[in-house]
């Protein structure tokens, strides 16, 4: 990659979609990537930063000289600026902020202070504001002069603020068009629905579900206008959150991409796996307590992983349904008993079916009806235990302020492994004469 190829490079990026460009860039080595982002014009670099997941965006920007980084940052929306700056080291962030236009830097400092999944964290600082005394023609002129394509103003209505910067009204397009151009905004505005900077994502989702607004003005605790949160920002945050939850369930910490350094990825994965080892040792200690039983009927060892795995799967289905119902707001922490009742019934039906199936397999495979009885009975009972736990654990975790996406799976697996091993081995110990006699 040399500077002479720059024109070709720009032409190349023009041909690619944003995600294709990002793919190309993430496949470069860290050194090539740093060089590339330095020589690319800031508009193209900004597109890459916009498309990239947060951690990659930070990585791209923080390798640059502060002035080049500031140039790219200045072209981004204030919400993205705040996200990127918020994840940087204090020192680097300050160096870049110092080079940005002071107006932008001020907005970013303010926005970066809010929590990610609140109205403050999702809003943009750029707002379309007018005074009560402004006339319709002033608004129309402003509308006409604004870059209509500007994403940051997408879906905003003109908001009317008082002298304390408090939003007191909103003006509809229809009233703008149908009223005399000399009329003042106070005569056509309607009261604005506002949200607080601290309003959480879930409440925003509910509000946007209930109303058809494209954006809502966000106010500080003192009522002054802080920004506008758009419907699409809320939908994006919702999507991002559920993606993250799904990754967490699989033991991925943070926003791992294969372009990140090996040792960082390895360390993050190990942090989750090593917690899992401990849980596994606890479960395995149940087997260890029954070594004699196992030694007497070695065929049991074949079915131990099977019973624990099948129960784990059944329990996971219950976790999945509970997570979905929690997301949709269809269950609350008061519904633990109802959920348990529903899951236990399904556990009994599925437990009988699966127990019969696996019992027959064990009987036919090893020619021992009692082995079939032990394995089948253990799976049937453990299925009821697994779906009961799988159904209620996410709801209880949520009640106690824990993230159900992270802890439900490992908790469930440990309990169903332990219960499965215990059931198989204690039933085997109980039926030992019959198992050996057949």
Q: CB of 99: closest distance to a second copy in angstroms? A: 27
Measured from the CB atom, the residue of 42 and 308 that comes closer to a second copy is: 308
Q: CB of 137: closest distance to a second copy in angstroms? A: 10
Measured from the CB atom, the residue of 198 and 232 that comes closer to a second copy is: 232
Query: Which residues lie across from 161 on neighbouring strands?
Result: 131, 167
Question: Nearest CA to 137 among 107, 109, 177, 165?
Answer: 177
Encoding tokens for residue 124?
A: 């943009």
Measured from the CB atom, the residue of 98 and 282 that comes closer to a second copy is: 282
Q: CB of 102: closest distance to a second copy in angstroms? A: 26
Encoding tokens for residue 197?
A: 């900077």
The region, left, alpha or beta by phi > 0 then psi within -120 to 50, assigned to residue 329 is left
Strand pairing report for 129-131 and 215-219: unpaired
CB-CB contact of 273 with 281 (8 Å): no
Q: CB of 286: closest distance to a second copy in angstroms? A: 9
Query: Which residues lie across from 155 on neighbouring strands?
Result: none
Q: CB of 107: closest distance to a second copy in angstroms? A: 20
Measured from the CB atom, the residue of 112 and 207 that comes closer to a second copy is: 207
Q: CB of 91: closest distance to a second copy in angstroms? A: 30
Measured from the CB atom, the residue of 39 and 279 that comes closer to a second copy is: 279
Q: CB of 352: closest distance to a second copy in angstroms? A: 10
Measured from the CB atom, the residue of 96 and 294 that comes closer to a second copy is: 294
Distance CA 362, CA 377 (A): 12
Measured from the CB atom, the residue of 41 and 329 that comes closer to a second copy is: 329
Q: CB of 284: closest distance to a second copy in angstroms? A: 5
Measured from the CB atom, the residue of 81 and 314 that comes closer to a second copy is: 314
Residue 210 phi, psi (nearest 5): -80, -35
Q: How far is CA 168 from the centre of its chain?
A: 34
Q: CB of 160: closest distance to a second copy in angstroms? A: 17
Q: CB of 377: closest distance to a second copy in angstroms? A: 16
Measured from the CB atom, the residue of 194 and 350 that comes closer to a second copy is: 350
Measured from the CB atom, the residue of 95 and 279 that comes closer to a second copy is: 279
Q: How far apart are the first and last CA of the chain?
A: 76
């Amino acid at each position: 990659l040399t500077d002479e190829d720059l024109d070709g490079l720009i032409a190349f990026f023009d041909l690619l979609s944003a995600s294709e460009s990002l793919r190309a860039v993430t496949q470069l080595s860290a050194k090539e990537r740093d060089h590339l982002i330095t020589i690319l014009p800031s508009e193209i670099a900004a597109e890459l930063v916009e498309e990239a997941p947060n951690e990659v965006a930070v990585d791209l920007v923080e390798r640059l000289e502060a002035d080049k980084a500031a140039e790219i940052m200045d072209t981004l929306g204030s919400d993205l600026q705040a996200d990127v700056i918020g994840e940087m080291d204090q020192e680097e962030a300050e160096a870049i902020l110092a080079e940005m236009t002071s107006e932008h830097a001020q907005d970013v400092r303010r926005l970066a202070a809010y929590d990610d999944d609140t109205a403050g964290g999702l809003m943009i600082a750029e707002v379309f504001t007018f005074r009560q005394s402004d006339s319709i023609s002033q608004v129309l002129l402003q509308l006409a002069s604004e870059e209509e394509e500007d994403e940051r103003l997408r879906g905003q209505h003109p908001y009317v603020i008082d002298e304390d910067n408090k939003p007191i009204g909103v003006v509809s397009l229809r009233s703008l068009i149908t009223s005399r151009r000399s009329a003042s905004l106070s005569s056509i505005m309607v009261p604005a629905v506002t949200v607080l900077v601290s309003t959480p994502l879930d409440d925003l989702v509910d509000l946007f579900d209930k109303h058809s607004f494209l954006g809502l003005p966000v106010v500080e605790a003192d009522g002054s206008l802080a920004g506008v949160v758009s419907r699409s920002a809320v939908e994006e945050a919702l999507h991002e959150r559920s993606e993250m939850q799904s990754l967490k369930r699989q033991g991925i910490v943070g926003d791992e991409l294969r372009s990140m350094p090996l040792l960082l990825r390895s360390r993050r994965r190990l942090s989750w796996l090593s917690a899992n080892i401990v849980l596994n040792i606890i479960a395995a200690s149940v087997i260890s307590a029954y070594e004699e039983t196992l030694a007497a009927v070695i065929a049991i060892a074949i079915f131990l992983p099977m019973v624990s795995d099948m129960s784990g799967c059944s329990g996971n289905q219950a976790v999945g349904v509970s997570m979905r119902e929690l997301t949709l707001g269809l269950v609350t922490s008061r519904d633990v008993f109802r959920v348990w009742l529903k899951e236990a019934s399904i556990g009994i039906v599925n437990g009988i079916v699966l127990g019969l199936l696996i019992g027959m397999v064990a009987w036919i495979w090893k020619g021992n009806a009692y082995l079939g009885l032990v394995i089948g009975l253990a799976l049937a009972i453990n299925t009821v235990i697994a779906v009961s736990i799988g159904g209620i654990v996410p709801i209880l975790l949520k009640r106690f302020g824990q993230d159900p996406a992270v802890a439900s799976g490992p908790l469930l697996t440990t309990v169903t492994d332990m219960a499965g091993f215990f059931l198989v081995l204690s039933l085997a110990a109980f039926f030992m004469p019959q198992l050996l006699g057949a």
